A and B are shown apart, each in its own frame.
Chain A
């Protein structure tokens, strides 16, 4: 059983004590003591409220916390919750925790959760991020119900987010995934999601766990792999995703995890996306407007300066990645004063496609291609922030939709670049 090799003997013993289950809810953590308690309590409440007859277990995969996260997970109990009086536990709800080696890494945590779900022969599995501090018990139902009742393979979330949150998702990951793989999933790199036991076991058997995508960006790889296998996908509106305090803002790391994984997936799944295929439906259940508008100050000036600085300093790198026309256009943009600066969607799309092709052809080290995209993304972020500064939720949605359509419209350019035509 190669899939159990990641599980320690003690953890296997704990899992054996639990026995077969219907539902596994995985919570990957690393120094999340501040929030994990309330998240686990909400998960427990959701399981007891909506799946009282199901045999369920909460599995915490921890990356080596030193702030007592694991103790909090074990201690979090239903008694702390104010849920309705008619909720009764029909079965024991187990909550177990393990510390995996080689962490902290979300991919290893997911691997651990998948291996545990596979060992327990779970019918459905959900993964909940400890950063989802706005979680309500209904999230558990919205994620797991489509899998259990409608035999859906994967449920991806839709959140209500601030219009300036998730800029990389909105400007790159969502539009590129949609254009390349033909599936309109708003959160292709999910932090809260659910899937069937069968899909989890299939993914577990994939040969990715010793590669980079088995360590970071694994959730994105999982979603893309599910799309390319034409599995049944649905999206569930969960609610508001709070902008976490002290959220990780290491843009290079985020770019590696997301764009790096997406470019790598384009390499692996090239036969699937480069041929003409019907789009894959991913209906959204209970969807509501996904943009909130609270005032938020962001330093556009610094972003613009870092874009212009990157353009100037990385010229030799860009010359080996971009076509002379695109490079000249970007150089022209970088020379514009800030108030006249606009990184238009068509140039952004061409830039991203040329980067994807450069990654494919490995014109320089692939990690360097991904890192070189960071300053250009900052430029695009400036334009997004400027364009949507006064915009209503509908206008923001419309701008994102327009960007997605430009990505879709320019897909032949991607194919041409990919095949060496540019």
Chain B
């Protein structure tokens, strides 16, 4: 009995040692992958940061108003954020590769789906960034035009333009990511449609005189007439 116990124990020990012997190289391989991955991710981060600095990416971010948003949320600059994002995406990819090497059942599928998801993630971020840029540009353009034309509530007009573009961009980004794509699209369509209907009714019924004046001014303008009819200066 005692001998049987000793034999079983020895066999178990052999199996454990054998498993360890098989696992240890894989584990070391994983550690190596993590280390190399970390180095590669870090180098990528440095390269991306330098490239963005050369391209004056922070200036672009300032123009779009992103810097102010980030500052408000106590976040680092956009260059820093993008380079950190690249670092984490790259390193996370290597972590998954490393885990894959361990041979854990079912992990390969997750690794493959992660790498399949990456292009869509980048596309969504791309849409989001340039969408925010467009929102900032067009909201400022509408603010300036409204102020120079002496229209009432220019900030409201500017805010409405910005909100509509951001809504549109966010719905596009979610659709790209495949997150609640139908819900987001329907929500956007409903919001946009009702906003436009509301504006049409307000402008067409409530402000029909204003609408008539605007249309007359916009399409009936001949040489020499100011679009706002505001200034009587002869500037040049």
Residue of A nearest to B224 (CB): A246
Q: Once the chains bind, are B148 and A374 in contact (CB under 8 Å)?
A: yes
Min CB distance A114 to B, Å, is 21
Question: What residues of chain A lie closer than 8 Å to B225, measured between beta carbons?
Answer: 246, 248
Q: How far is the CA of A31 from the CA of B222 in the complex (A)?
A: 9
Residue of B nearest to A374 (CB): B148
Which size class do B's interface residues fall under?
20 to 34
Q: How far is the CA of A204 from the CA of B224 in the complex (A)?
A: 29
Partner of A167, one of B144, B145, B235: B235
A243 to B235, CA, bound (A): 11
Residues of A within 8 A of B235 (CB): 166-169, 249, 251, 254-255, 258
Contact yes or no, A169 B155, CB < 8 A: no
Stretch at the interface among A275-283, A333-341, A365-373, A405-413: A365-373
How long is the Cα–Cα vector from A235 to B234 in the complex, in angstroms? 22
B147 and A313 within 8 A (CB): yes
Asked whether, in the complex, the Cβ of B223 is within 8 Å of the Cβ of A31, the reply is yes
Q: Do the beta carbons of B140 and A298 come within 8 Å of each other?
A: no
Taking a contact as CB atoms under 8 Å apart, the answer to whether B234 and A247 are in contact is yes
Q: Is the CB of B230 within 8 A of A314?
A: no
Contact B223 A317 (CB under 8 A): no
Q: Are A249 and B148 interface neighbours, CB within 8 A?
A: no
CB-based contact B231/A303 at 8 Å: yes
Chain A residues with Cβ below 8 Å from B154 are 313
Does B53 count as interface, using CB distance less than 8 angstroms? no
Interface residues of A in 243-272 (CB under 8 A from B): 243-252, 254-255, 257-258
* CB-based contact B233/A167 at 8 Å: yes
Q: Using a CB-CB cutoff of 8 Å, which residues 195-224 of chain B contact chain A?
A: 222-224
| B231 close to A365 (CB less than 8 A) | no
| A328 interface residue (CB < 8 Å to B) | no
A251 to B147 Cα, complex, angstroms: 12
Asked if A72 is at the interface of the complex by the 8 Å CB criterion, the answer is no
Q: Return chain B residues, CB-CB under 8 Å to A362.
A: 59, 63
Tell whether, in the assembled complex, residue A306 and residue B150 are in contact, meaning their CB atoms are under 8 Å apart: yes
Residues on the A chain within 8 Å of B144, using CB? 314, 317, 368, 371-372
CB of B60 to closest CB in A, whole Å: 10
Residue B8 is within 8 A (CB to CB) of chain A in the complex: no
Asked if B226 CB lies within 8 Å of chain A CBs, one says: yes
Q: How far is the CA of A249 from the CA of B224 in the complex (A)?
A: 7
A248 and B223 in contact, given A166-B235, A254-B235, A313-B155 (Cβ under 8 angstroms) = yes
Residue in contact with A168 in the complex, picked from B137, B143, B236, CB distance below 8 Å: B236
Residue A344 at the chain B interface, CB threshold 8 Å = no
Given contacts A306-B150, A362-B63, contact A249 B226 (CB under 8 A): yes
Please indicate the chain B residues that have their CB under 8 angstroms from the CB of A164 in the complex: 233-234
Q: If A168-B235, A371-B148 touch, does A250 touch B140 (CB 8 Å cutoff)? A: no
Q: Which of B140, B144, B150 has the most CB of A within 10 A?
A: B144
Complex alpha-carbon distance, A257 and B228, angstroms? 18
Given A166-B236, A248-B223, are A317 and B143 also a contact pair (CB < 8 Å)? yes
Least Cβ–Cβ distance between A353 and chain B, in angstroms = 20
**Docked-complex contact A309 and B150, CB < 8 angstroms:** yes
A249 touches B147 (CB 8 A): no
Complex interface residues of chain A between 17 and 50 (CB less than 8 A to chain B):
30-31
Contacts of B137 in A (CB 8 A): 365
- Complex: A302 Cα to B226 Cα, angstroms: 15
Nearest-neighbour CB distance to chain B for A216, whole angstroms, equals: 11
- Nearest opposing residue in chain A for B225, CB measure: A246
Q: Determine how close the nearest CB of chain B comes to the CB of A191; give it in whole angstroms.
A: 8
Give the docked Cα–Cα distance between A248 and B225 (Å): 6
Cα distance A364–B138 in the bound complex, in angstroms? 12
Q: Which residues of B contact A314 (CB under 8 A)?
A: 143-144, 147
- The answer, yes or no, to whether B141 is at the interface (CB within 8 Å) is yes
Partner of A251, one of B145, B224, B233: B233
Q: Check: A310 CB closer than 8 A to any chain B CB.
A: yes
| Interface residue? B227 (CB, 8 A) | yes
Interface assignment of A206: CB less than 8 Å from any CB of chain B: no
Query: Which residues of A197-256 are within 8 A (CB) of B?
Result: 243-252, 254-255
A182 interfacial by beta-carbon distance below 8 Å: no
- In the complex, A303 Cα to B228 Cα: how many Å? 13
Instruction: Report yes or no: A249 in contact with B223, Cβ–Cβ below 8 A.
Output: no
Complex CA distance for A255 and B154, rounded to whole angstroms: 20
Determine the chain A residues whose CB is within 8 A of the CB of B59 once the complex forms.
Answer: 362
Closest chain B residue, CB of each to CB of A252: B148
Closest partner residue, chain B, to A251 (CB atom): B231
Contact A364 B140 (CB under 8 A): yes
A5 vs B172: C-alpha distance when bound (angstroms)? 44
A251 surroundings in chain B (CB, below 8 A): 148, 226, 230-231, 233, 235
Contact present for A250 and B236 (CB under 8 Å): no
Among A78-109, those with CB < 8 Å from B are none
Tell which of A247, A299, A364 touches B63, judged by Cβ atoms closer than 8 Å.
Answer: A364
Question: Within 8 Å of chain B (Cβ to Cβ): is A179?
Answer: no
Known contacts A363-B62, A365-B63, A368-B144; 18 additional CB pairs below 8 A are A31-B222, A167-B233, A167-B234, A168-B233, A189-B236, A249-B233, A249-B234, A250-B231, A251-B233, A255-B235, A258-B235, A298-B233, A309-B147, A314-B143, A317-B144, A363-B63, A371-B144, A381-B233
Residues of A within 8 A of B (CB): 30-31, 164-169, 189, 243-252, 254-255, 257-258, 298-299, 302-303, 306, 309-310, 313-314, 317, 320, 362-365, 368, 371-372, 374-375, 378, 381
25 residue pairs bridging A and B, Cβ less than 8 Å apart: A31-B222, A164-B234, A165-B234, A168-B233, A168-B235, A169-B236, A189-B236, A245-B224, A246-B223, A247-B224, A249-B226, A250-B226, A250-B231, A251-B235, A252-B145, A258-B236, A298-B233, A299-B232, A313-B143, A314-B144, A317-B143, A364-B140, A371-B145, A372-B144, A375-B147
